[in-house]
């Protein structure tokens, strides 16, 4: 499969074919780059060449024992397009170890290994074709990086790769939960979680699950790109336990307003719901497009941490959540 791109007069499109494992865009890994140059002048009036510094988003995919959904591919590309970011997808091909001399049980293991490799390869082809098609339609710079690893090494490799990027995008499902937890607690980068099998729209209004904690501050740093581009920021506090620090919340709202952002503070009760569920229902009622939350906090917002409550919440996630540890 070939993904051809044309220049538009002001952009430069570079097509680079890299030999890989035969799992992406046909037999090759296809990288296409679009960089827009602009003219600027120094204090002497001399022209300077400069390229826009763009956010770098990462899409870690899986191909075995199940495959990432096509909806997370579309959501990731849409997010990159709306945020004017590059998108780099990491696509693993499972590698099976050699088992030794032939015997009935060795033959069975090799047969299962061959089936696993075939499933991984076929899943990679499907995902890469969808990735190339959506990226072409969106007109973004998109890269597929394929790698080969044994199943236990795949998550470790994806965590290591994720550390290089501004954030990683992943679907919230039981299947992805082991990778999600590992990325959240070991990559040092924020995650944007999308509902499984649901295509979301543009992120315009951002809701902050406010608890005043250090993890939330980390998440807010990772969410700065979304905050800067938002038409409205909503600080949501669920206060049934009476532990909310109103002064810190007001201070943060003032800082955002001084930055030129439209900020609203909403205080609500859980009304018998889990706090994480109450935050999501409040955000949806206020037409928010993204929730920003810390992975752990000193208040009841800690339910966004990946314990039992959050596992059930994320399976039924209805809107994107940016979370950081």
Architecture of domain 11-194: 3-Layer(aba) Sandwich (3.40)
Map residue 296 onto helix, strand or coil. Answer: coil
Better-predicted residue by pLDDT, 314 or 305: 314
Where does the pLDDT of residue 325 fall: very low under 50, low under 70, confident under 90, or very high at 90 and above?
Answer: confident
pLDDT tens-digit series, residues 167-183: 999 999 888 988 998 99
What rounded mean pLDDT belongs to the chain? 80
Pairing of strands 232-238, 167-172: unpaired
Contacts of 51 (CB under 8 A, 6+ apart): 35, 36, 37, 38
- Read off the pLDDT band of 306 (50, 70, 90): low
Q: pLDDT class for 46, splitting at 50, 70, 90?
A: low
Distance CA 5, CA 47 (A): 30
CA distances from 150 to 95, 108, 123, 232, 271 (A): 5, 18, 16, 45, 47
CATH of 205-324, one of 3.90.1150.10, 3.40.630.40, 3.40.50.620, 3.10.20.520: 3.40.50.620
Q: Would you say residue 193 has pLDDT above 90?
A: yes
pLDDT reported for residue 121: 97
Q: Express each pLDDT in 222-232 by its tens digit.
A: 999 999 999 99
Judge whether 144 and 128 are in contact, CB under 8 Å: yes
Domain with CATH 3.40.50.620 in the chain: 11-194, 205-324
């Amino acid at each position: 499969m070939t993904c051809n791109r044309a220049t538009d007069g002001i952009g430069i499109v570079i097509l680079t074919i890299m030999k890989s494992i035969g799992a992406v865009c046909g037999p090759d890994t296809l990288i296409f780059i679009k960089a827009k140059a602009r003219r600027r002048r120094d204090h002497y009036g001399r022209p300077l060449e400069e390229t826009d510094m763009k956010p770098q988003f990462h899409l870690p995919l899986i191909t075995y024992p199940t495959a990432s959904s096509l909806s997370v591919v579309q959501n990731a590309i849409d997010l990159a397009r709306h945020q004017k970011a590059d998108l780099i997808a990491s696509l693993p091909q499972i590698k099976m170890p050699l088992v030794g001399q032939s015997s009935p049980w060795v033959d069975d293991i090799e047969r299962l290994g061959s089936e696993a490799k075939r499933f991984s390869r076929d899943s990679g082809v499907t995902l890469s074709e969808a990735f190339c098609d959506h990226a072409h339609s969106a007109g973004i710079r998109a890269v597929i990086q394929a790698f080969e690893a044994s199943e236990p090494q795949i998550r470790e490799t994806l965590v290591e790769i994720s550390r290089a990027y501004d954030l990683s995008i992943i679907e919230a499902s039981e299947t992805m939960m082991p990778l999600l937890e590992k990325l959240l607690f070991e990559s040092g980068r924020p995650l944007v979680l999308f509902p499984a099998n649901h295509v979301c729209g543009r992120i315009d209004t951002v809701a902050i699950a406010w608890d005043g904690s250090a993890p939330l501050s980390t998440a807010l740093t990772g969410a700065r790109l979304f905050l800067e581009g938002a038409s409205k920021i909503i600080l949501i506090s669920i206060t049934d336990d009476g532990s909310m620090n109103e002064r810190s919340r007001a201070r943060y709202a003032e800082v955002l307003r001084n930055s030129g952002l439209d900020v609203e503070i909403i205080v609500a009760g859980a009304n018998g719901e889990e706090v994480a569920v109450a935050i999501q229902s409040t955000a949806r009622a206020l037409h928010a497009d993204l929730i920003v939350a810390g992975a752990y906090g000193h208040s009841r917002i800690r339910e966004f941490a990946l314990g039992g409550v959050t596992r059930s919440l994320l399976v039924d996630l209805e809107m994107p959540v940016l979370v950081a540890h």
